[in-house]
Chain A
C-alpha cells in the first residue's frame, strides 16, 4: 500500500483511518481530515493559535516590512510585511523522537 517508504501523504492517512473504522466510508474520513486541516487554516488566518497537546502548537509569526535587495542587480526593493505560519513541536512529541 505504501508507495514511497518514508513518506505518508494525506490519502494514506485517510486509508489507515478508514481501515480502522469499517463503519465509515473512505469519503467520510477524507471529509473529517479536511475539516480538521481547514479549521486549523481558518483559525490561523483569523489571527488565532491552535494548540494540540502531545503534537504541537500552530501560530503566526509577523515579519515586518524591510528593505531587501535583488541579488542579481543589487537594486534595493521594499519587501512587504508578512505573516507566516509557524509550528512548535510539543513536549511529548519531542521526547518521543529522542527516546
Chain B
C-alpha cells in the first residue's frame, strides 16, 4: 500500500477531473462545502451524508481526569465533541479494499 495523505488540493483535483469545473472554481467549491459542514457542526447540527457518514455533536459533562505523568487529579471541563459514524457503504468499501490488498 502506498503511503500518502490526501489534502484539500487533491480533493479539488478530483472535482476538476470528475466534474469539469476550472481548477480555481473546484478549489473554491471544496472549501465552501467543507466550511458549510463545519459551520453546521458548530451550530450543533447532526450532519448526515448518506453513503458516507454521520457527524454528531455530543455534550460531555465535567469529569475528573488524571495527569498520566504525575498522577495528579485534574478536572476535565464540560465540552462538546464530534462523534463520527461511518455508513455501511463506507465501512464495506474499506474492508473490501484492505482484503484485496492483503491478498
Category for how many chain A residues contact B: 35 or more
Let me know if B33 and A51 touch, CB within 8 A.
Answer: no
In-complex Cβ contact of A85 among B4, B15, B40, B86 (8 A)? B86
Q: Is the CB of B79 within 8 A of A46?
A: no
Residues 11 to 56 of chain A near chain B (Cβ within 8 Å): 13, 16-17, 20-21, 28-29, 31-33, 35-56
How many B residues, CB 8 Å from partner? 55
Of chain B, the residue at the smallest CB distance from A9 is B48
Give chain A residues whose Cβ lies under 8 Å from the Cβ of B11: 36, 39-40, 52
Q: Specify which chain B residues have a CB less than 8 angstroms from the CB of A82 in the assembled complex.
A: 95
Question: What's the Cα separation between A84 and B4 when bound, in Å?
Answer: 18
Nearest Cβ on chain A to B20's Cβ, whole angstroms:
9
Contact of A10 among B4, B49, B79 (CB under 8 A): B49
Closest to B35 in A: A54
Q: Across the interface, which residues of B come within 8 angstroms of A97, CB to CB?
A: 41-42, 57, 79-82
On whether the beta carbons of B94 and A44 are closer than 8 Å, the reply is yes
- A residues near B101, Cβ cutoff 8 Å: 46-47
* B5 close to A49 (CB less than 8 A): yes
> Does A70 belong to the interface (CB within 8 Å)?
no
Q: Is the CB of B98 within 8 A of A8?
A: no
A85–B46 CB distance below 8 A: no
Given known A48-B4, A48-B5, contact A17–B80 (CB-CB < 8 A):
no
Interface residues of B (CB under 8 A from A): 1-8, 10-11, 14-15, 18-19, 21, 26, 29-30, 32-34, 36-38, 40-42, 44-53, 55, 57, 79-82, 84, 86, 89-91, 93-98, 101
- Which residues of A come within 8 Å of B, CB atoms? 6-10, 13, 16-17, 20-21, 28-29, 31-33, 35-56, 60, 82-87, 89, 93-94, 96-98
